[in-house]
Structure 1
Amino acid sequence: MTDALPLLGCGLPVAGSWATQATIGRVARQAEALGYASLWTFQRLLRPDDADLEPAHRAVLDPVVALTLAAGWTTRIGLGTATICAPFTPPVVLAKTLTSLDVLSGGRLTAGLGIGWLPQEYAAAGVPFERRGARMEEYLHCLHALWTQDPVEFSGEFYTVPRSRTGPPPVQRPHPPVLLGGTAVPALRRAGRLTQGWIGSSRHDPAAIGDCVAAVREGAREAGRDPHALRIVVRGVVDLVDRAPGGTRRPLQGTREQVLDDLAALSAQGVTEVFLDLNLAPRVSAPDAVEHASLAYAEHVLDAFAPVRLSPPAG
């Protein structure tokens, strides 16, 4: 059933002991050579002592810096953030940063943005936690203006841009694709109304992702947009084993054949892309994980699901 698989990407090593210059370069080059569609990073500013976060969140590189390094090692593969908590950065600053990456990578960026959910991060960023939805809505409009108007001028409740020029423009026109994260129904519909798609988090149940897809597409329909033109991207935490696990297994845990079946099931629910993110895999994110073992496992997974071998032969 490989013809029913979504596009496959992979997560860059950005969290834990394997998040080094050497591993980022090696994984980026290997993913491109094996035909993966994209490389992805994520953002975590801090890990509060009183928050129940996965071990992978204890030490995380900046998502754009890591992608910039990967861009220098590659020439074709897409580069995406999944996600950046947009309200922590003024729109004009984020627009300049992401435009710079799009220019320097030759137009390979996908801007995955989120609203954030940790009050401690909002406090550290100096942004009010209240009215996050309204702030995010305006943020997206401001970002769009910064990328599409020349000169640009924007005046809203939360953000203001005096009449200015902000060149250079991004390579991708009118702007790099924007995907929005979120779990609540209003956030899902916002993704469909205002952006080019939605990014699911590791906390979403892969077996029930279709409900989220339906809400995103409903938002697109309400806005008069084509719901099937949206990108639906899911983070896949793969636990690849040689023997089928006994008893109940979670999706994307099992043998290569079982994981391929799970990927096909995601595609059947409307998912267009899955990136295999090993940053959150237990054997990589464990506090005692070592760089060489994490890299060896990542290379094993990348080789097992290499799109160059999964794709049917031409003709």
Structure 2
Amino acid sequence: MKISFGVPLSGPWAGPENMRRVARRAEELGYAGLWTFQRLLYPEGHAMGPVYRSVHDPLMTLAHVSAVTRRIELGLAVVNVFMQPVVLAKQLATLQTLSGGRLAAGVGLGWLEEEFTAAGVDFAARGRRGEEFVQVLRACWSEDVVAHEGEFYRIPASHMDPKPEPGPPPVLMGGAAERALVRAGRLADGWMSASRENLAVIDQKISTVKAAAEKAGRDPDALRFVVRGVTRIGAGRGPLAGTYDEIRADVDALAAKGVTEVFHDLNFDPAVVTAEPAQAMRRAEEALEALAPR
């Protein structure tokens, strides 16, 4: 089981100095990865809550922390398919090369229709769009001449260079519906859970992904299964909530269910994202020490 940590991304604590402090300390303590998430906008009057009210761009944040780290993986959890995949492929290829091959790219279908409207992308048929989206990313990263004619995207025969070095980043897919799980098993290098995932039955979803991979002639044991840990310290007992000992026990239980990586994400703790930045950082630095890999 790999243990990773979420970069400060949401709310007042998510300033550049705190991003760098968390990134450096996580690498020093032996965490496997640093993870970010995407929220493009917050519709006026929406009930999403404080976690999503003010969120930095995930890719630019990873580029920033990549410059102050050397070993730790850089994860996107996730970017959504309202993005333009050719432009994104170029950005991800560059970050993969500049970071020395440390990137993991999570792709999600998205659920906030207003973000699609703002990006000029049709909200309907997101599943089919997501499948073609991943195909376009991989074509841009691997084919000498990229030429694509699909339902949603068209690329005239073109060179897309330089290719990512030392190779393309792994692509993980999100989604909770059975069709999304099957799609991840058939196409992706792994699956990652959402912040609202029911972790008690996550083994069932992992089994669905693995079965789809095996049916597609792929090795199910080669897939990654990443859980966003909505980690709340001392907030009452619940999955990945409670004392540090209880949270570590929950991580062990997830490993027994087939999860290969958990990243503790304090951005989803209202007590952090609404706190004064120095107080939030004290809480984060304590958690970094207490939950570090052993």
Q: TM-score normalised by the shorter chain: which range applies?
A: over 0.9
* Superposed displacement of residue 278, structure 1: 0.5
* Superposed displacement of residue 32, structure 1: 0.2
Which residue of the other structure, out of 207, 228, 236, is the alignment partner of 1:235?
Answer: 228
Pairing 1:197–2:190 present: yes
Q: Distance in 1 between matches of 2:125 and 2:231?
A: 35
Pairing 1:295–2:269 present: no
Q: Which runs of 4+ in 1 moved over 6 A?
A: none
RMSD: 1.2
Q: Distance in 2 between matches of 1:119 and 1:184?
A: 18
Q: Which residue of 2 aligns with 1:14?
A: 9
Pairing 1:41–2:50 present: no
* Superposed displacement of residue 50, structure 1: 4.2
Pairing 1:251–2:239 present: yes
Q: Which residue of 1 aligns with 2:125?
A: 131
* Superposed displacement of residue 256, structure 1: 1.8
Query: 1:173-184 to 2 correspondence within 5 Å?
Result: 173=167, 175-184=168-177
Query: Can you give the 5+ residue segments of structure 1 that lack an aligned partner in the other structure?
Result: 1-5, 311-315
Q: Secondary structure at the match of 1:161?
A: strand
Q: Which residue of 2 aligns with 1:313?
A: none
Query: 1:261-300 to 2 correspondence within 5 Å?
Result: 261-286=249-274, 289-300=275-286
Q: Which residue of 2 aligns with 1:113?
A: 107
Q: Distance in 1 between matches of 2:242 and 2:107?
A: 31
Q: Secondary structure at the match of 2:106?
A: strand
Q: Secondary structure at the match of 2:67?
A: helix
Q: Distance in 2 between matches of 1:233 and 1:149?
A: 28
* Superposed displacement of residue 139, structure 1: 1.2
Deviations along 1:118-148, one digit per CA (max 9) or x if unpaired, are: 1111111111111111111111111111111
Deviations along 1:199-251, one digit per CA (max 9) or x if unpaired, are: 1011001111112111111211121111111000001122223xx95xxx211
Deviations along 1:137-183, one digit per CA (max 9) or x if unpaired, are: 1111111111110121111111111111111110142x110000101
Query: Can you give the 5+ residue segments of structure 2 that lack an aligned partner in the other structure?
Result: none
The one-letter code of the counterpart of 1:301 is A
Q: Which residue of 2 aligns with 1:304?
A: 290
Q: Distance in 1 between matches of 2:17 and 2:85?
A: 32
The one-letter code of the counterpart of 1:177 is P
Q: Distance in 2 between matches of 1:155 and 1:180?
A: 22
8 Å CA contact 2:13, 2:273 repeated in 1: no
Task: Classify 1:182/1:211 alpha carbon distance in 2 versus 1 (closer, same or farther; 3 Å).
Answer: same
Q: Secondary structure at the match of 1:8?
A: strand
Which residue of the other structure, out of 150, 160, 166, is the alignment partner of 2:160?
Answer: 166
* Superposed displacement of residue 52, structure 1: 2.4
Q: Distance in 1 between matches of 2:90 and 2:49?
A: 31
Q: Which residue of 2 aligns with 1:154?
A: 148
Query: 1:87-106 to 2 correspondence within 5 Å?
Result: 87-106=81-100
Q: Distance in 2 between matches of 1:290 and 1:103?
A: 36
Which residue of the other structure, out of 30, 53, 60, is the alignment partner of 1:58?
Answer: 53
Q: Secondary structure at the match of 2:202?
A: helix
Q: Which residue of 1 aligns with 2:20?
A: 25
Q: Secondary structure at the match of 1:73?
A: coil
TM-score, normalised relative to structure 1: 0.91
* Superposed displacement of residue 257, structure 1: 1.6
* Superposed displacement of residue 43, structure 1: 0.4
Q: Which residue of 1 aligns with 2:180?
A: 187
Deviations along 1:183-207, one digit per CA (max 9) or x if unpaired, are: 1110111111101000101100111
Among all aligned residue pairs of Structure 1 and Structure 2, give the percentage whose two residues are the same amino acid. 49
